[in-house]
Amino acid sequence: MLAPPLRQQSLGAGRVSQPPCGRRTRTRSVTMLLHRAVIPHLRQACRLKSAPSRLYIRACSTDDSLQPQCPSLAFSGDNSSTGGWKVMGTLLGLGAVLAYHDHRCRATQESPHVYTREEVRSHSSPETRIWVTLGCEVFDVTEFVDLHPGGPSKLMLAAGGPLEPFWALYAVHNQPHVREMLAQYKIGELSPEDKVTSTLKTSDPYIDDPVRHPALKVNSQRPFNAEPPPELLTENYITPNPIFFTRNHLPVPNLDPETYRLHVVGPPGGQSLCLSLDDLYKFPKHEITVTLQCAGNRRSEMTQFKEVRGLEWNIGAISTARWAGARLCDVLAKAGHQLCETEAHVCFEGLDSDPTGTAYGASIPLARAMDPEAEVLLAYEMNGQPLPRDHGFPVRVVVPGVVGARHVKWLGKVSVEPEESYSHWQRRDYKGFSPSVDWDTVDFDSAPSIQELPVQSAITEPKDGETVQSGEVTIKGYAWSGGGRAVVRVDVSLDGGLTWHVAELDGEEQRPRKAWAWRLWQLQAPVPAGRKELNIVCKAIDDSYNVQPDTVAPIWNLRGVLSNAWHRVHVHVAP
């Protein structure tokens, strides 16, 4: 359980090594099977009469409401037969089994089975069952291994040992629904004499993370993910480096620029490159202003409609910077790559990794990477300075007009492959689905990976719940669209969408089909006389006349990505 888990799916076959008492679901199954299969046949085998000797059957269950109310079964001396005695013998045997099962259930409820750490260590493979510990509790997670969203290999790292050192890398596990799911696999507890070993006191993988600006609103500490507050987000067209939103998936690597090398795999017949920073500086330097947006920006609004899995981003998982570096197409050409008729993808691999050595990875189509007009960069500068560590020092990918998940940081390797990256974050995340799809029915292979993002806008001032003065109100915000599509208009309403005003657009002039950066906008509008509240709404339109949907409902999806409904802010008007 080392990556955000899916909802529990149905379990496999019975255990090889059973805990003293089966799970509640297994007990219910035994009870219902007895009630449905055995009782009807008994009624056919014998008549129900009053007699001195009666046999009562009671099934073991942790839920008394599920126990069938079985009538007494009597055998008259006049009507007894060989078949009747066979039935009675069967019942006695079955009763003994159920009584023993009931005894084990009660014993378990009274005192959980206790295991030593040595016993846990001996269960570290599918053949011996896969056990793990968390605190003083022991769990058999054999059936969950193949269902683990991060892959079986991640969970197998903890096989026969504690989860804590690995959960330290993914703080998302410390949530109630994860704990509840794990609890279903509990089989006992560690022996009190078996003290927690020093292996739990592992070094903190995040201890070397950089210092962050205190104004950032933190959505998770480990890994670090944070956004600027709305009131600072649009203070400047170019977002200052310290408050640029941060999206990390793993601990931040501390790389030495002197020993850093970027490996670019060449094609058959070409040459692979091993580039230092100085080597990258020799390529023509290219500079562009680009807005980066996380796929989960504004996820919190989807959560308000219906629960989703993911970080609770507000409207600040988006920022803009001036990036400089070598064009990816120049570097690929140097290695001998060129466009081909068959589909191909450029795969990026970061130098941030988990305990298995698995790095963050992503990919983009080769056609975009090789197009000089797409201006994909291997960036080493951000706003005129070397990249900050949180933003990919010393080299990161910048893919204008494309979701932030493909802008791989701490870049270590570039290769051209016939298929897109096999990274978890390319194949099993950052995809959109119908509102009807849930965690029991989702098929990640059925949906394309997010590349270009839809048109987006949000209100940064005033804030929701704020009190504004009567007379005139100033409203500010941002608007952006993926794929280089320019924002041509932002409409703002003060009455929830009944009437509209056109906002004034600020910022750099946008080039046709190369509008890589956002437009800031503002509107000064009179407050209608007598109004005590304003329901402010904004929506943006791009040069393809794409427009934001009015509500979250039709675009809701289980991961909470692509959230771009009309942004709404409710404010009070001072008397």
Active site residues: 148, 173, 247, 294, 430
| Distance from the first to the final alpha carbon of the chain | 54
List phi, psi (to 5°) of 68.
-70, 145
Please give the single-letter amino acid code of residue 275: L
**Tokens in use for 264?**
């670019």
Under 8 Å between Cβ of 60 and 101: yes
Mention every residue, 6+ apart, whose C-beta is less than 8 A from residue 276.
260, 261, 262
List phi, psi (to 5°) of 396.
-135, 165
**Cα angle vertex 368, ends 413, 482, to 5°?**
110
Q: Specify the DSSP class assigned to residue 113.
A: -
Element of type H or E holding 89: helix 82-110
Neighbours of 541 (CB within 10 A): 18
Of 488, 540, 490, nearest to 515 by C-alpha is 488
| E strands, 33-128, in order | 114-115, 124-125
127: exposed, middle or buried (Cβ count in 10 Å: 0-12, 13-18, 19+): exposed
**Tokens in use for 414?**
């570039």
Mention every residue, 6+ apart, whose C-beta is less than 8 A from residue 154.
2, 3, 148, 166, 354, 356, 358
Q: Specify the DSSP class assigned to residue 34.
A: I
Residue found by looking up tokens 């950052």 in the block: 430
Spatial strand order in the sheet of 225-227: 217-220, 225-227, 246-247
d(C-alpha 370, C-alpha 110), whole Å = 67
How far CA 214 is from CA of 136, 172, 237, in Å, comes to 36, 22, 21
d(C-alpha 247, C-alpha 391), whole Å = 8
d(C-alpha 382, C-alpha 398), whole Å = 11
Mention every residue, 6+ apart, whose C-beta is less than 8 A from residue 231.
460, 461, 463
What string of DSSP letters covers 143-177? Answer: GGGGG-TT-HHHHHTTTTSBSHHHHTT-GGGSSHH
Under 8 Å between Cβ of 469 and 456: no
